[in-house]
Amino acid sequence: MSQRTIVITGGAGVLGQAVARRACANEDRVVLLDRAEISESADLAGDVRIGGVDLTDTDSAGEAFASIAKNCGGLDALLNIAGGFAWETLEDGSVDSWERMFAINLRTAVTASKAALPWLKASTSGRIVNVGAAGAVKSDMGMGAYAASKAGVARLTESLSRELLGRVTVNAVLPSIIDTPANRADMPDADPSDWVAPDDLAAAILFLASEDARAITGALLPVTGRV
């Protein structure tokens, strides 16, 4: 196959970079999209870097994907990794937190997917891979807003896979806690060996984005540990 173009939202983050490193090793053309500005001198894996993109805004997303398609000659896979987490009980928290979780976890995936569709449908191996959460299947205290937004990602995955059946595959990974510096800082007494390594999750994401996964669509793949 000719070189594939893979767009990674949240590409400058820990998981985004784990995916980018693996994709670059596969000799894919890797485009990093991020809300933060990305310096050209930053030590990041990826061939193209586009910072300052607000994926909650349809115009910002549309301009970014049109530019990518023009400069790269199209695109083959969209990996919706942009997102965030907040632990907050309903009693002591803010209702605004629910809106924020839906914006950064679900709306970003919806907006990016819609903006990328014309080029993904034109690809011979169009792929969308979303990042949901195992906690959206069975939530816990303080995770209501986060889990609800990730449950939305799961339903988006299922519905869009049917909408694009035979043209673009749409799947999602459902990780448990990911071993990141932020999670280690927030949970200093936990054992990170029970968590999911970013590189292991990246391998699962890139499998679903690969030609080998052409017969898989609408899947919600649990990725919950290394043991």
Of the chain, the end-to-end C-alpha distance in Å amounts to: 34
Note the pLDDT of residue 42.
Answer: 81
Strands 48-50 and 29-33 turn out to be parallel
- Please give the share of the chain, as a percent, with pLDDT higher than 70: 98
What is the maximal distance between C-alpha atoms in the chain? 54
CB atoms < 10 A from the CB of 214, how many? 11
pTM of the model: 0.95
Q: 137 and 87 in contact (C-beta within 8 Å)?
A: no
Give the number of other Cβ atoms within 10 Å of residue 27's Cβ.
9
Neighbours of 101 (CB within 10 A): 25
Mean pLDDT across the chain, nearest whole number?
Answer: 94
In this predicted structure, the answer to whether residue 191 has a pLDDT above a threshold of 70 is yes
- By annotation, the residues acting in catalysis are 146
- 63-81 pLDDT, tens digit per residue, is 999 999 999 999 999 999 9
Domains detected in the chain? 5-84+108-132+158-223 (3.40.50.720)
